[in-house]
A and B are shown apart, each in its own frame.
Chain A
Amino acid sequence: MAISVTLPMTKEATTSLRAGDSVLLSGTIYTARDAAHQRLHEMMQAGETLPFDLDGASIYYVGPSPAQPGMAVGSAGPTTSSRCDKYTPDMLDAGLRVMLGKGKRSDAVKQAVVRNSAVYLAATGGAGAMLARCIKDAEIVAFPEFGTEAVRKLTIENFPAVVILDIHGGDYYETARQSYLKTAES
C-alpha cells in the first residue's frame, strides 16, 4: 500500500519513511536540474536570497517537455539526480528536505540526508507521459532564460514514487537488488 505524503514535508514526517516505502506525493514541489542547481548554489555562496525558500522545500529533478493544450506540463519524468550531487549537500544543510529524481547518489549526499532528516525519492524514469497527469499546475518562478531548466513551482496530486534514501541510512537500490538476487539464487 502506498503512503500518502503531503509536500512540503515536516521533519517528523520524514522520520517515519523507510527505504522501499511506496508513496503518493501531493502538494508543492520545485523543479530544478543542472543549470538551476549551478545558479542556486552560486546565489547561496554569494549570500543572495533564493527565488524560493529552501527551508523544508522539495525539489524534483526534471526538465519537462512543453505543455500540450489543457495540460500544466508536457512529459515530466525524473532526470538523473547524481548530476546535482556536487551542490546537494550544501542545499540539504540549508534546509532542503525532499528530493525526487532517479538513480544513485554520492556518499556525501547520503550522509547529508541522514544529518538533516531529509529523504530521497525515485519516480519511474521514462514514464514521463503518465507522471505528467499527476502535475496539476506549473508556474515559472526563476530563470526563465533556462527554458526547460527554469525553476517551476509544481502542484502535484498523488504522484507515485518510492523512498530510496531514508534518514536511517537505508538505500533501497542496495537492498532491493540484494533481496532479488537472494531469491534468484535459492
Chain B
Amino acid sequence: MREIQVSTVTDTVARLCVQACTVLPEDVKTRIYDSRKTEPWSTAQDILDVIIENFETNGPIPLCQDTGMACVFLELGQEVHITGGSLYDAVNVGVAKGYTDGLLRKSVVGDPLRRVNTNDNTPAMIYTDIVPGDRLTITVAPKGFGSENMSRIAMLKPADGIDGIKKFVLETVENAGPNACPPLTVGVGIGGTFDKAALLAKKALIRDMDAHHPDPFYAQLETELLDNINRLGIGPQGLGGKTTALWLSIETMATHIAGLPCAVNINCHSTRHAKEVL
C-alpha cells in the first residue's frame, strides 16, 4: 500500500481551489479565442474581448466573484492508504483554507431553507471513484450557481429517442438564455438512473474541450448539438451572436429498459477546474 498523508490532500485541495478560481484552463481559453475569430456579430465580438481581457489580466483576483461551490472529484487508487485522519475532512479543511487564504467568496449556506453562511465555503461537494493503482487524482471544479440554476433533468422515455434528447438539450439552453452567462459549456448525461444522469452531466463539464466522446456515434451527436445551439442566436451575454456555447460534452452509461434519463448541466464561460495527481 502506498501511503498518502491527509495534510498533503489538504494542501493540494487548497492550492487547486485558488488556481481554479483565478486561472482559466488552456483548453477553455483556446475555445474562447477561436470563437472570437469566427464571431460575425460586433456586439458579441466586443463582449468576447471583455471576457478575454478579464482572464488575461485578472492576476490574483478571481475571474468571477461567484467562486462557486467547491466540487471535488477524487479518483482514489485502491492501493492507496490515507493516513493521519479522514480523507473527506482533509478535503473540507483544504477548501476552507483555499477559500479563506485565497480571498475567494464564501457562497455556501449550511442549510438549504434556514440559510446561514458557513463562512468558509464548506462543505465541498465530494465525488469519489475507486480506481486501480496507487495514485490519488484530485480535481477541483468550482461551480457557480448562475449557470447551475439553469440546469435540468428529464426522465425521457425510450420512445423519445435521440430526437427527445436533442429537443431537451436545446430547450434547456434556450431557457438558460442570458442568465447563465453565455457563451456556455454544456454537459449532457444520458442513461443510468435519475441521480447517475446528473452526475454524468457534471463529469462531462470537467472533460477536456476537444476530447470528444470515444464512441463516434456520441461524438457526432456532440458536434450536431453544439452546431444547433450556436444557431439559436442567443450569443455572448444573450445580446445576439453565433457564440452561444463554447463546447458540449456527452457522458453515457447503461440504463433500464423503461427509461432514458437525460441531464443537462449548464456552465458559464468561466468553466473552471484544476487537477493534480498525488
Q: A-side interface residues toward B, CB under 8 Å? A: 35, 62-68, 71, 74-77, 79-80, 82, 102-104, 122, 124-130, 132, 146-149, 160, 162, 172-173, 176-181, 183-184
The 20 listed contacts between A and B (C-beta, < 8 Å) are A64-B105, A65-B104, A75-B63, A79-B65, A80-B146, A104-B177, A124-B54, A126-B54, A126-B64, A126-B270, A128-B61, A146-B117, A148-B105, A148-B106, A173-B238, A173-B239, A176-B235, A177-B233, A177-B239, A181-B233
- By the criterion CB–CB under 8 Å, are B237 and A102 in contact? yes
Chain A contacts of B50 at CB under 8 A? 124, 127, 130, 160
- Tell me if B268 is interfacial: C-beta within 8 Å of chain A: yes
Contact of B178 among A77, A103, A179, A180 (CB under 8 A): A103
- In Å, the complex CA distance between A63 and B235 comes to 25
- By the criterion CB–CB under 8 Å, are A180 and B235 in contact? yes
What is the distance, in angstroms, from A121's C-beta to the closest C-beta of chain B? 12
Chain A contacts of B54 at CB under 8 A? 124, 126-130
The residues in B between 55 and 111 inclusive whose CB is less than 8 angstroms from any CB of A are 57-67, 103-107
- By the criterion CB–CB under 8 Å, are A177 and B62 in contact? no
Chain A contacts of B268 at CB under 8 A? 125-126
- In Å, the complex CA distance between A178 and B241 comes to 10
Please, what's the 1-or-0 string for B23-66, where 1 marks a CB less than 8 Å from any CB in chain A?
00000000000000000110110010011011001111111111
Count of residues in B whose CB is under 8 Å from the partner chain: 46
- Tell me if B223 is interfacial: C-beta within 8 Å of chain A: no
Please, what's the 1-or-0 string for B113-149, where 1 marks a CB less than 8 Å from any CB in chain A?
0010101000000000000000000000000001001
Residue of B nearest to A180 (CB): B240
Given A127-B50, A147-B119, A160-B50, 10 other A-B residues pairs in contact with their CB atoms under 8 A: A67-B103, A71-B61, A75-B64, A75-B67, A77-B65, A127-B53, A127-B64, A128-B54, A129-B54, A183-B40
- Tell me if B242 is interfacial: C-beta within 8 Å of chain A: yes
- By the criterion CB–CB under 8 Å, are B240 and A102 in contact? no
Residue of A nearest to B178 (CB): A103
Residue of B nearest to A128 (CB): B65
Residue of A nearest to B119 (CB): A147
Chain A contacts of B115 at CB under 8 A? 35
What is the distance, in angstroms, from A145's C-beta to the closest C-beta of chain B? 8
- By the criterion CB–CB under 8 Å, are A64 and B65 in contact? yes
- By the criterion CB–CB under 8 Å, are A68 and B179 in contact? no
- In Å, the complex CA distance between A172 and B178 comes to 11
- In Å, the complex CA distance between A146 and B107 comes to 10
- In Å, the complex CA distance between A104 and B175 comes to 10
Chain B contacts of A177 at CB under 8 A? 233-235, 238-240
